[in-house]
Structures are given as structure tokens and as C-alpha cells.
Structure 1
């Protein structure tokens, strides 16, 4: 299968560990945004392109959402039914994961970089996962890295609809990235958030 654009040879992780795949959740209804949020332009690129660049070292890039034509190397799948929420979207994306680890990201985080993903991958150690926390210490469940077998087992046993309910019990290590003018955890939930991101760029 085609690797993600800019993928490392052989799919090695940025930190030199086991390979990883990437799952970008890019569906949903985006009620607060009022448009196709992942396709929204920012700094000359679509939001989803910024997210994909953060996982350029992935062996396999899996996008859960409608085809948009901006990531030709990606595997595109849909949750059933479309817009059903993050847990069904993760289920659809995880079915395409082949690597022993994966990065799970939202498609609206323009300031996440490969160094942040490498930090998460390295921090996992023997734990099931690592998750980014924001400036107030809150877990960002759509900015994390996970061991594929543990995540599959948890998803198989989970009947709920909350990512926190699914991922929290796995006990991931919480990672606070260095404080930067452009926070790694920043997401664009509204047009105002997007405008603020444009100013930060």
C-alpha cells in the first residue's frame, strides 16, 4: 500500500522504534464550524493536510471521512453511518491499521508537528498509549499514540460512544508538550478558531 506522503523509508517511527500507522478522524458533522472543516484552508493548505504532515513518518495513512482529493497516498474509509461519532470512526480506521502502533489524530490540529508525534511515541514505553494534554492539563483524546493490540481489545469490549470512556481506562501516559506560541493541542472547532490560527501562522 502507498505510504503517507513523506513517509520514512520502511515506515520507521521518528524515534527509530517500531513502525506506526496513522488514523485521522476527518468526518463528523462539524455543527459549530458550519462547513467541511478538514477541507478548510489555512496558510495555503487544507486543515487535514497539516494533520497529515504531522504523521509524515507513518507507514500507512488512514483517513476516516469523505474523499477530498488532497491526500492521494491515503487509505480513505467511512464510519457507518457517516457522522456517527468518533468511536465508530475509530472502529472503521482501526480495521485498516497494520502496524503495531498507531497515531490517532483529529484533522483540525494545524500546529501539531512530527516532533510532537515522536514525543508521544517515545513516551509510551511499555504503556498502552500516550496522550497529549493541553495548557490546563486536559487530555486531548484525538492527539495520542496507542499500541494497536491493546486498542483493538478495548474497542472490541466497548459498547459506549465516548472516546474518553474508551481510552481513559487504558491508562495512557499524559504528555504536556513544551509551551510554544502555536500550541500543539490547538484545534479549530469554529471559524473564529480558524481565524485565530491564521493569525498565529
Structure 2
């Protein structure tokens, strides 16, 4: 298996959720952060970037500086903590409680024959949209993209990933996220 670390993103303003700590929102028997850590359990090491600390000694925690810089700044902070320990990195936003179903296919795509021609593999959701926050990236490609970008604070994922050659992995509803309370309620009903 390809050595893969994980960066779990828990920051963000959660404006459409009234500013609550999204990572602590419960869906089913766990919080969104707990679901994300379960999805990343096949990876090592794992770093959580954001204000939510999981209270697990095996999980590193960091924060982008300054806080609130967005997902690209959080990814840069997470890579800084990982310090070259793996060839690939799973990047996962904490608000996709079904992501665990997608991670094996993403890891397989990143390690498949011919994978060296790609910069990684990202999830394609039910609406045929790429999900750059549910993806496995070659660490060197992601690092080069960050260097080319310059200041990551406030940068968009689209800008960061625009020059990357990514394999598409259809994952359907595994990429559904909890952006609004309606989303949260729909996901909770599925876990009952």
C-alpha cells in the first residue's frame, strides 16, 4: 500500500450553520470529526487542522496562521506538520460523514498501475462535481502547487488544484456534506 498520511480539516466559519463548531455536530453515533477520523483511520500519521482537537494522542493537531485562512491555508499548515513522512496525503473536510466509504477507492486509484502519471485522485459526487476536499494527492505535487500559489491565506481550492492532473473516482453520496442544517438533518435521518 502507498504510504498515505491524512489532513482532516475542521476549521471554517460554518456560516450556514450559524457559526457552530461544525466538527462537533453529531450525526448518528458520532460527531462529524469522529466520522472523519474513522475515514482517515487507514492513514498514518493523521493531523487535524482547525480549532477542534480530537483528544487522541495518535492524532496531531495544528492550526493555520492566522486562523480562518481557508482550506488551502489549512492544507499548507497540515503539510508543515507532516514533514515528509509519506508519499501521498488524504485531504478530508470533516463535514462528509459518509467519506469512509470513498477512501478505499481513492487510495486504490492513487496506488493503481500508471498512478505515477497522475497527481492524485479525487472524489466525484452524485452531481458529477470534483471534490478536492475528499481526495488523495501525491505529496510532492500538492507541495509544488502550494509553492506555485504563494500565500495560501484566502486562496481557493480551485486555484490550488487547477494545474494538477487528477484521476476521477465516482463516489456518489459518499461525498455529501453538512453545509446547512437541512443537510445535517437529512444525514441524521440516514443514520437512524
Provide TM-score, normalisation by structure 1: 0.85
Tell me which protein shows more strand as a share of its residues: 2
Cα distance between partner residues in 1 of 2:144 and 2:71: 17
Cross-structure match for 1:154: 145
Cross-structure match for 1:32: 16
Cross-structure match for 1:19: 3
Cα distance between partner residues in 2 of 1:64 and 1:83: 11
Tell me which protein shows more helix as a share of its residues: 2
Match of 2:122 among 128, 131, 134: 131
Structure 1: segments with no counterpart, 5+ residues: 1-16
Q: How much does 1:70 deviate?
A: 4.4
Provide runs of 4+ in structure 1 moved above 3 Å.
Answer: 67-72
User: Does the residue aligned with 2:16 lie in a helix, a strand or coil?
Assistant: coil
RMSD of equivalent CA atoms: 1.4
Mark the CA change 1:67 to 1:136 in structure 2 (over 3 Å): closer, same or farther.
closer
Between 189-198 and 66-75, report the one with greater CA deviation.
66-75
Match of 1:176 among 167, 170, 173: 170
Cα distance between partner residues in 1 of 2:56 and 2:28: 17
Cross-structure match for 2:92: 105
Cα distance between partner residues in 2 of 1:152 and 1:132: 20
